[in-house]
Amino acid sequence: MREELFADRVQPDTPSRLEGLFPQMDFDDAITFTAGSPAEDLFPKEAMQQAYLDAIAAEGAHTFQYHTISGPEELRSRLAVRAQQKMAIEGVDADNVMLTAGGQQGIDLIAKLMLNKGDGLVVEAPTYVGALSSFDMYEPTYYEVQLESDGMDVDQLEETLKAHNNIKLVYTVADFHNPGGVTMSVEKRKRLVELANEYDFMILEDTPYRDLRYVGESLPSIKHFDTEDRVIFLSSFSKILMPTLRLGWMVAPKAVIKQLYKLKEAADLEVPNITASAVNQFLAKNDLDKHIEGLIKAYSGKRQAMFDALAKEMPEGVEATCPEGGFFTWVTVPDFINTTDLLYDVVTPKAHIAYVPSKNFYAFKDHTNGMRINFTGLTPDQIADGMHRLGGVLKEEMSKASLKTAQ
Ligand SMILES: Cc1ncc(COP(=O)(O)O)c(C=O)c1O
């Protein structure tokens, strides 16, 4: 094998950003807060099984044939209606909706559409690690904008835009941020669109957790405020149905979708018809919103268990975000604690728990005192136990540090 023949973007000696993200633990009492996985016991297994059967019954052998790049029009129409009703995105029809292999493929295709090597790309700090792994492949120039409790710092964004005229794309996870847990305010959503118009860039609004709001009122999407076709709204069935469907969907201007189809065709020819048809059947015969209500009920309890445990177990000086929805809370520890070292040296081997350390969520991997904690994949008892163990480790680290300072 001759690695030097590989394209520059591969960088064989650099591990993938997703490699080693979820350390494996063989301990019987292991509790892991790492995954972004929905709870398996909430999957609508029987209904989805029936939906696959219905899809096959409706089309017979043709179900398994090659189909079209765009996938079933009926499904795209349903999603266009959902975009209008739930996301406040007006004036869209089936042809504004593109189906993708998970939201992840949507991110990748949009990056491929927009970014030449060196082009400016703004990401939140921190941001979704899977997006960084896609973006890396297009070798952009990253500009990080801090994430605040009400979303990205739009003043810092404007300063960045003034200083750099190569910025083409801003990527944001506006609802129940992964990993930050925060939600962008309405004011910031509007301002972001105004900045896009003024400084001429596109916005990728990535929002797979949007339906999973546990408290407060739903906010209009950023796309709702779009006046110049600059916002691409991206969603997914992974968190509200099942990740293995690998079915994402975006709402975008038709001219954008036309170009994205060229890129998708080159990557994988078409949407798997069996899955898209099954999801269409599922939506025809089941009430998706009722199913989501069930998820919200279950996840609300886990979220509360996480807040209670954090309040009880974390020492002073440790802060956590208060997500109104989604899967994650972001914990910040004093900056003398390196959360990557702590994970591998102490937390995993001794406390038998795991989180994802902050460095993974930064374009430049240079942030060392945070951690992403998932609360949807565990029972309230596991959350309480795991946070007790984490709190114990942090207390010990902090008292070691204060002893050192006292000496
Ligand atoms: C913010 C965000 N975007 C996109 C994805 C990709 O999800 P999928 O490809 O399963 O739709 C995830 C998954 O965790 C995510 O958290």
Cβ atoms within 10 Å, residue 74:
15
Fold of the CATH domain 3-43+290-406: Aspartate Aminotransferase, domain 1 (3.90.1150)
Using most ligand atoms within 8 A of CB, pick from 37, 178, 356 the residue to mutate for ligand 1: 178
Give the position, in ligand 1's atom list, of the atom nearest the Cα of 107: 4
Assigned token pair, 207: 């929002």
263-287, pLDDT tens digit by residue?
A: 999 999 999 999 999 999 999 999 9
Tell me what pLDDT residue 16 has: 85
Q: Which one-letter amino acid corresponds to residue 260?
A: L
Q: 234 phi and psi, to 5 degrees?
A: -125, 130
Distance between CA atoms of residues 190 and 225, nearest Å: 6
For residue 16, the 8-state DSSP code is: P
Check for a shared fold between 3-43+290-406 and 45-285.
no
Report residue 331 CA to chain centroid gap: 17
Residue 206 Cβ contacting ligand 1 at under 6 Å = yes
* Locus of tokens 């009722």: 290
Which helix (H) or strand (E) covers residue 58, if one does?
helix 45-59
In the predicted structure, residue 22 carries a pLDDT above the cut 90: no
Contact 67, 273 (CB under 8 A): yes
- Min mean pLDDT across 28-42, 47-61, 155-169 is at 28-42
Distance between CA atoms of residues 167 and 53, nearest Å: 47
| 206 CA → ligand 1 middle, Å | 8
Give the position, in ligand 1's atom list, of the atom nearest the Cα of 247: 11
Contact 283, 99 (CB under 8 A): no
Distance between CA atoms of residues 277 and 73, nearest Å: 10
Give the position, in ligand 1's atom list, of the atom nearest the Cα of 101: 9
Give 215's contacts (C-beta < 8 A, 6+ positions apart).
300, 324, 325
| 107 CA → ligand 1 middle, Å | 9
46-91, pLDDT tens digit by residue?
A: 999 999 999 999 999 999 999 999 999 999 999 999 999 999 999 9
Q: Please give the average per-residue pLDDT across 4-30, as a whole number.
A: 85
Q: Please give the average per-residue pLDDT across 223-229, as a whole number.
A: 96
| 234 CA → ligand 1 middle, Å | 10
The beta strand positions in 174-307, using DSSP E, are: 202-206, 231-236, 248-251
Tell me what pLDDT residue 407 has: 67
Tell me what pLDDT residue 275 has: 96
- Min mean pLDDT across 4-18, 65-79, 313-327 is at 4-18
Using most ligand atoms within 8 A of CB, pick from 18, 123, 128 the residue to mutate for ligand 1: 128
Is the domain spanning 45-285 CATH 3.40.640.10? The answer is yes
Q: Which one-letter amino acid corresponds to residue 324?
A: E
Please name every residue paired with 146 in a beta bridge, in sequence order, or none if there are none: 125
- Min mean pLDDT across 14-23, 118-127, 157-166, 319-328 is at 14-23
Distance between CA atoms of residues 259 and 188, nearest Å: 29
Residue 208 Cβ contacting ligand 1 at under 6 Å = yes
176-218, pLDDT tens digit by residue?
A: 999 999 999 999 999 999 999 999 999 999 999 999 999 999 9
Residue 106 Cβ contacting ligand 1 at under 6 Å = no
Average pLDDT, the chain: 95
Residue 128 Cβ contacting ligand 1 at under 6 Å = yes
Tell me what pLDDT residue 374 has: 96
354-391, pLDDT tens digit by residue?
A: 999 999 999 999 999 999 999 998 999 999 999 999 99
332-352, pLDDT tens digit by residue?
A: 999 999 999 999 999 999 999
| 401 CA → ligand 1 middle, Å | 37
- Spell out the domain ranges in the chain: 3-43+290-406, 45-285
Contact 176, 128 (CB under 8 A): no
